[in-house]
Amino acid sequence: MFRTALRNVFAHKARLMMTALAVLLGVAFVSGTLVFSDSVGQAVKNASAKSFKDVAVSVQAGSSEGGPEPEDADGRRVSALDDKVAGRIRALPGVAAVHANVSGRATVADKDNQPIGTEWQNHATNYQPGADGKDGRYPLVQGRGPASAGEIALDEGTAKKGGLKVGDTVRFATDGPALHKKLVGIVHSEDPKITAGGSLALFDTATAQKLFTHPGTYDELVVSSKPGTDEAALTDAVKKVLPKDRAEATSGTALAAEQAKMVERSNSALSKTLLVFAGIALFVGIFIIANTFTMLISQRSREIALMRAIGASRRQVVRSVQVEAALLGLVSSVVGFALGTGIAVAMRAVLDANGAGFPDGPLVISPTAVLSALGVGVLVTVLAAWLPSRRAARIAPVEALSTVDAAPALRGLVVRNTIGAIVTALGVAIMLYVSTLTKSDDSTLMTAMAGSVLTLTGVIILSPLLSRPLVALAGRVTTRIFGISGKLAKENALRNPRRTAATASALMIGLTLITGMTVAGLSTQRAADEMSAKGLTADYQVSTSNFRGLDPKLTQRAAALSGVEAAVPLRQTVFDVAADGAFGMLTGTDLDRIGKVTDLKFRSGSLKAVRDGGGIAVSASRAKEKGWKTGDTLQATFPTDARGDEQKRKNQKKTPLKIAGIYEDNQVVGESLASTRLVDPHLKPLKDDKVLIKTANGPEAGLAKDIRKALGDSPLLKVQDRDGLRKENAGQIDTVLNMVYGLLGMAVIIAVVGVVNTLAMSVFERTREIGMLRAVGLARSGIKQMVRLESVVISLFGAILGIGVGVFLAWAGGSMAAGAMPTYEMVLPWDRLGAFLAIALVVGILAAAWPARRAARLNMLESIGSE
Q: How far is CA 250 from CA 48, 195, 242, in A?
A: 16, 25, 12
Domain assignment present for 309: no
d(Cα 43, Cα 359) in Å, to the nearest integer? 6
- What is residue 574's DSSP assignment? E
Domain assignment present for 36: no
pLDDT tier at 171, thresholds 50, 70, 90: very high
The pLDDT, as a whole number, for residue 405 is 47
CB neighbourhood size of 120 (10 A): 12
Q: For 373, left (φ over 0), alpha (ψ -120 to 50), or beta? A: alpha
Same domain, residue pair 796 and 651: no
Q: Is the pLDDT of residue 11 over 80?
A: no
Range of the domain at 743: 465-537+722-867
Q: How far is CA 506 from CA 279, 377, 412, 840, in A?
A: 13, 17, 21, 12
Q: What percent of the chain has pLDDT over 90?
A: 16
In three-state secondary structure terms, 494 is helix
The pLDDT, as a whole number, for residue 507 is 83
Domain assignment present for 282: no
pLDDT tier at 42, thresholds 50, 70, 90: confident
Write out the DSSP string of 640-702.
GGGTT-HHHHHTPPPEEEEEEEEE--BTTTBTEEEEHHHHGGG-SS--BSEEEEEESSS--HH
Of 62, 59, 83, the C-alpha closest to 224 is: 59
Within 8 A by CB and 6+ apart from 371, the residues are: none
Same domain, residue pair 75 and 105: yes
Same domain, residue pair 756 and 644: no
Task: Specify the amino acid at residue 30.
Answer: V
Cis peptide before 93 (omega within 30 of 0): no
Domain assignment present for 310: no
Q: Is the pLDDT of residue 65 over 60?
A: no
pLDDT in tens, 371-396: 888 888 888 888 877 877 777 777 66
Of 200, 196, 336, the C-alpha closest to 267 is: 196
Q: Is the pLDDT of residue 313 over 90?
A: no
Domain boundary among 689, 720, 751: 720
The pLDDT, as a whole number, for residue 404 is 46
Domain boundary among 658, 691, 720: 720
Residue 571 half-sphere exposure toward CB, CA atoms < 13 A: 24
Q: Would you mind telling me the total number of residues written for the chain in this entry?
A: 867
Q: How far is CA 349 from CA 40, 345, 364, 686, in A?
A: 11, 6, 15, 45
Q: Is the pLDDT of residue 197 over 90?
A: no
d(Cα 750, Cα 28) in Å, to the nearest integer? 12
CB neighbourhood size of 781 (10 A): 11
The pLDDT, as a whole number, for residue 667 is 82
Instruction: Tell me what the pLDDT averaged over the chain comes to.
Output: 81
Angle between helices 301-309 and 314-353 (to 10 degrees): 140
pLDDT in tens, 663-704: 988 888 888 999 999 999 888 778 899 999 998 887 775 788
Q: Is the pLDDT of residue 26 over 80?
A: no
Q: What percent of the chain has pLDDT over 70?
A: 83
Within 8 A by CB and 6+ apart from 839, the residues are: 748, 799
pLDDT tier at 550, thresholds 50, 70, 90: confident
d(Cα 384, Cα 671) in Å, to the nearest integer? 54
Q: Which position has the higher pLDDT, 719 or 72?
A: 719
Same domain, residue pair 702 and 713: yes
d(Cα 327, Cα 313) in Å, to the nearest integer? 21
Write out the DSSP string of 323-365.
HHHHHHHHHHHHHHHHHHHHHHHHHHHHHHHTT--PPP-----
Q: What are phi and psi of 509, to 5 degrees?
A: -60, -50
- Confirm if 15 and 296 have CB atoms less than 8 A apart: yes
Domain assignment present for 404: no
Same domain, residue pair 528 and 553: no
Number of H helices, E strands in the chain: 28, 24
Domain boundary among 262, 278, 300: 262
Same domain, residue pair 583 and 693: yes
- Confirm if 445 and 424 have CB atoms less than 8 A apart: no
Write out the DSSP string of 795-822.
HHHHHHHHHHHHHHHHHHHHHHHHHH-T
357, exposed or middle or buried, with CB in 10 Å at 0-12, 13-18, 19+?
middle
Same domain, residue pair 488 and 593: no
Same domain, residue pair 72 and 214: yes
Q: Is the pLDDT of residue 48 over 70?
A: no
The pLDDT, as a whole number, for residue 312 is 72
pLDDT in tens, 459-475: 988 888 888 888 888 88
Specify the pTM: 0.69
The pLDDT, as a whole number, for residue 493 is 81
- Confirm if 659 and 618 have CB atoms less than 8 A apart: yes
Domain assignment present for 41: no
The pLDDT, as a whole number, for residue 676 is 92
The pLDDT, as a whole number, for residue 64 is 47
Same domain, residue pair 625 and 734: no
Same domain, residue pair 544 and 532: no
The pLDDT, as a whole number, for residue 740 is 76
The pLDDT, as a whole number, for residue 257 is 78
- What is residue 114's DSSP assignment? P
Domain assignment present for 860: yes
Rounded mean pLDDT of 811-815? 84
Within 8 A by CB and 6+ apart from 232, the residues are: 251
d(Cα 105, Cα 118) in Å, to the nearest integer? 10
| Bridging pattern class, strands 107-108 and 633-637 | unpaired
> How many structural domains does the chain have?
3
CA angle 282, 286, 290 (to 5 degrees): 160
- Confirm if 108 and 171 have CB atoms less than 8 A apart: yes
Domain assignment present for 598: yes
- What is residue 77's DSSP assignment? B
Same domain, residue pair 684 and 828: no
Q: What is the CA radius of gyration of the chain?
A: 34
Q: For 7, left (φ over 0), alpha (ψ -120 to 50), or beta? A: alpha
| Sign of the four-CA dihedral 70, 76, 77, 78 | negative
- Starting at the earlier edge strand, list the strands of the sheet with 57-61: 95-101, 220-225, 57-61, 247-251
d(Cα 519, Cα 830) in Å, to the nearest integer? 10
Rounded mean pLDDT of 339-367? 76
pLDDT in tens, 247-298: 888 888 888 777 777 766 766 776 777 777 777 777 777 777 776 777 666 6
Which range has the worst mean pLDDT, 107-116, 392-401, 698-707, 842-851? 392-401
pLDDT tier at 346, thresholds 50, 70, 90: confident
Within 8 A by CB and 6+ apart from 362, the residues are: 39, 42, 43
Rounded mean pLDDT of 203-227? 90
- What is residue 98's DSSP assignment? E
Rounded mean pLDDT of 505-524? 86
- Confirm if 549 and 689 have CB atoms less than 8 A apart: yes
Q: What is the 3-state secondary structure (H, E, C) of 182-235?
A: EEEEEECCCCHHHHCCCEEEEECHHHHHHHHCCCCEECEEEEEECCCCCHHHHH
Of 418, 717, 737, 409, the C-alpha closest to 542 is: 717
Q: What share of the chain is helix, strand, coil (3-state, %, to 5)?
A: 60, 15, 25
Q: Is the pLDDT of residue 15 over 60?
A: no
Q: What are phi and psi of 561, to 5 degrees?
A: -70, 145
Same domain, residue pair 702 and 728: no
